[in-house]
Amino acid sequence: MKIRVLGIPLDLGQERRGVDMGPSAVRAAGLDAALKAIGQHVEDCGNIHVKIAEEQPFGDRRAKYLHEIAAVSEEVAQRVAQTLDEGLFPISLGGDHSIAIGTLSGVAKHHHDRGQSIGCLWIDAHADMNTPESSPSGNIHGMPFAALLGYGPDPLTKIFGYAPKLRAPDCVLIGARDLDARERRIVKDAGVHVFTMRDIDEQGMRSVMERSIELATRSTAGFAVSFDMDVVDPDEAPGVGTPVAGGITFREAHLAMEIIADSKQLLSLEVVEVNPILDAHNRTAGLAVGLITSALGKKIL
């Protein structure tokens, strides 16, 4: 596989500084060497330029930094679509989870041009399905999944001139355990499949992942994975901006990625919300590297 790595140091979608250093932290944890060790060819394109918060007003309190995030998303979408057009596999490093608006728009566009749709596994403690009207904070990192499904302002939903980028029946939210009150209704109305932490506890990660992949590939070209590091329990991944107790374990996270690799239907991968300022000895970035290599075929034996 030929891989192109793109860093997206976007931190405007949330309020805790440091997540803009996530791409550098993951690289410092040895991503390039780890990928090459499992036989992958790696091209690192560096980082997209993102203006810092101090350079601009946040604008509408219901959707802070909307226009800057939309501009970054458009550039990211173009870069990811081009990567796929050139036959390379995209790995995107966040940054906060609002980067998914651009990354998954790019993956969707590449396949849309070929008459195909894509599935999505959104692996996250949160649903990220707020809109400006429902969000209690106005932080766009809580809105990207909704935007990709066509809910929200046009600058986020209509990149490339069409919406939605994802079809709800082809999308699965995995590991959810912290949803906003008004967001719950959006999740139910949208019709995405959801496996909460209770489902993982009761059914086991293997069963949940196998069913999720089945749902995401019934009528698609394959699936994209958007992995928020806060889905992992904070004891294992302390370096995230919105930690929630009771997350998946180290081994459950690796098993999920190993099952994804076994499916051979992965179209793209992004890992988001690594915040080295909040981390301990770069543990969260190191775990991110391990999970990326598991998703791309690293095995124990």
Domains and their CATH numbers in the chain = 2-295 (3.40.800.10)
Q: Which residue has the tokens 């079809």?
A: 167
The rounded distance, in Å, linking the Cα atoms of 210 and 223 is 13
Kindly state the average pLDDT of the residues 68-76.
Answer: 98
Given a contact cutoff of 8 angstroms between Cβ atoms, the answer to whether 147 and 257 are in contact is: no
Q: Which one from 110, 111, 141, 254 is the annotated catalytic residue?
A: 141
Q: Which of 183, 252, 273, 279 is catalytic?
A: 273
| Residue 128 annotated among the catalytic residues of the structure | yes
pLDDT, mean over the chain? 97
pLDDT for 55 beyond 90: no
Task: Tell me whether residue 126 is one of the annotated catalytic residues.
Answer: yes
Residue 60 annotated among the catalytic residues of the structure: no
Which regions of the chain does DSSP assign to beta strands (E)?
Answer: 2-8, 41-47, 89-94, 119-123, 171-176, 193-196, 223-228, 266-272
Nearest to 246 by CA among 236, 254, 256: 236
Q: Which residue of the set 20, 74, 128, 270 is catalytic?
A: 128
For the question of residue 178 being annotated catalytic, the response is no
Instruction: For residue 85, indicate whether it is catalytic.
Output: no
Contact 140/156 with Cβ under 8 angstroms? yes
- 164-204: pLDDT as tens digits: 999 999 999 999 999 999 999 999 999 999 999 999 999 99
- pLDDT one-digit tens code per residue, 232-250: 999 999 999 999 999 999 9
Supply the angle between the helices 250-263 and 283-295 in degrees, to the nearest 10.
30
Catalytic residue among 68, 124, 180, 270: 124
- Given a cut of 90, is residue 295 above it in pLDDT? yes
pLDDT for 301: 85
Mean per-residue pLDDT for 31-58? Answer: 95
**Is 96 assigned a catalytic role?**
no
